Amino acid sequence: MSVARSSVTVKTPSRPGPGQARVVVATARVFLLRFASNPIMVIRGPLGPFLVLLTFHLAYDVSGQEQVAGLDATGFLVVGMLGTLVWSSTVWGAGNALQAEIYQGTISAVVAAPQRLSSVILGYGVGSMLFNLPALAVSIVTGFLLGADFRIEHPAAALLALLCLYACCLCIGIGFGGLFLLSRQSNALSNFLQGPVYLLAGFFVPRSALPDWLHLVSDVLPISHAVDALHKTVLSGASVGQIWPQLGATALTSLIFLAGGMAGLRRLDDVVRRRGTLDLL
């Protein structure tokens, strides 16, 4: 059988605006319902961060380190745990979004429907982040119980840094969405991208401890700068004015991921329609 290759690309009419927002909300809702129906996930959500935090707290405790890069060690770990949760949402929620649709056999409907793929990915990311909110609360409470010394003198700055952390991860998620799908190894990439980023972004070890060349690699990641900003506002009482360099670096690197991701998704949409390989992905 010969397959004729058409040069005509069918353009999907996109409807930016409230319609896209509804897609994000609906996708997030479906994500939450799916996860909430799994008892192990419901238990694991808040239990995991508690155990991980306790484990790393003990590691610093047995080595007699009460300060990490001039910051309270337990507080440093709590911020790192927040970063871990958001990053986990990025790779397993947003990054893995289209692969999840393939796994469920619904990718054709998602691509053919008149909405942007980025809205679906965003919905997965938001759903995953919402699902992790109890874990975030558990991390903060565990931090207090373990004696974390938080010094938030400018709550607005801390909130802004936290929002930047979430926003930059959504941008990375969109950046990864098409890449993961095109690699056909979304699960493998999601698994892989945890350990290295935990190290590079300074979640459990300060970035200042990394060799220079690794420090440079970590500068490419928006999440590294967002976590730096969160460290400063939550543990050193920094104001918005004092974290502008970190916020600026977060915004710049996030935009690169976002632009690359949007271009990649458009290309993906174009390629799968032209080649008719949607169900083979």
Partner 1 sequence: MSTTTRSGSSGSAHDTTSDGGSSRLGTVACLRLVGAVAQSAARQRIRTSGIFFYALVWMAAPLFGALTVVFIYRASPDLRDYAIVAGAGLSLLFGMQYNAGEVLDEERRRGSLGNLFASPGPRYVWLAGFQLFAVGESLVAAALTVGVCAAAFGLSVSMNVLSVLVVIVLLLSCMWGFSMLVGSIGLALRDANQLSNLLFPVTTLLAGTMYPIALMPDWIQVPARCLPFGYAMQALVHAVVNDASPQELQGELLPLTAFAVVLPVLGIAAFHAVERYVRQLGALELI
Candidates 21, 33, 209, 263; binder of partner 1 (CB under 8 A) is 209
| Choice from 27, 46, 48, 72 touching partner 1 (CB under 8 A) | 48
Question: Counting contacts by CB under 8 A, is residue 210 touching partner 1?
Answer: yes
Sole binder of partner 1 in the list 205, 217, 278, 281 (CB under 8 A): 205
Instruction: Report the 3 state secondary structure along the chain.
Output: CCCCCCCCCCCCCCCCCHHHHHHHHHHHHHHHHHHHCCHHHHHHHHHHHHHHHHHHHHHHHHCCCCEECCEEHHHHHHHHHHHHHHHHHHHHHHHCHHHHHHHCCCHHHHHHCCCCHHHHHHHHHHHHHHHCHHHHHHHHHHHHHCCCCCCCCCHHHHHHHHHHHHHHHHHHHHHHHHHHHHHCCHHHHHHHCCHHHHHHCCCCCCHHHCCHHHHHHHHCCHHHHHHHHHHHHHHCCCCHHHHHHHHHHHHHHHHHHHHHHHHHHHHHHHHHHHHCCHHHC
> At its nearest, how many Å lie between partner 1 and the CB of residue 238?
25
Round to whole Å and give the CA distance between 95 and 88: 10
Distance of closest approach, residue 68 Cβ to partner 1, in angstroms: 9
Q: How far apart are CA 266 and CA 178, in angstroms?
A: 9
Among 24, 28, 52, 170, interactor with partner 1 by CB under 8 A: 52
Binding of partner 1 by 63 (CB under 8 A): yes
Residue 262's nearest CA partner among 252, 254, 250, 274 is 254
Count the site residues for partner 1 by CB under 8 A. 34
Which of 19, 114, 196, 248 touches partner 1 (CB under 8 A)? Answer: 196
Q: Does 58 bind partner 1 (CB under 8 A)?
A: yes
Residue 62 near partner 1 by CB under 8 A: yes
Q: Give the shortest CB-220-to-partner 1 separation in angstroms.
A: 17
Nearer to partner 1, 4 or 40 (CB): 40
Which is nearer to partner 1, 57 or 116 (by Cβ)? 57
Among 10, 47, 159, 163, binds partner 1 (CB under 8 A): 47
- Are 97 and 121 in contact by the 8 Å Cβ rule? The answer is yes
Considering only 9, 67, 104, 185, the residue that binds partner 1 (CB under 8 A) is 185
Q: Are 171 and 261 in contact (CB under 8 A)?
A: yes
Nearer to partner 1, 182 or 240 (CB): 182
**Piece of the chain touching partner 1 by CB under 8 A; list 16-24, 47-55, 159-167, 264-272:** 47-55
Residue 144 binds partner 1 (CB under 8 A): no
191 makes contact with partner 1 (CB under 8 A): yes
Alpha-carbon dihedral angle through residues 90, 93, 96, 101, given to the nearest 10 degrees: -160
From residue 6 to residue 45, the character string flagging contacts with partner 1 as x (rule: CB under 8 A) and all else as - is: --------------------------------x-xx-xx-
Q: Which stretches of the chain bind partner 1, using CB under 8 A?
A: 38, 40-41, 43-44, 47-48, 51-52, 54-56, 58-60, 62-65, 185, 187-189, 191-192, 194-196, 198-199, 204-205, 209-210
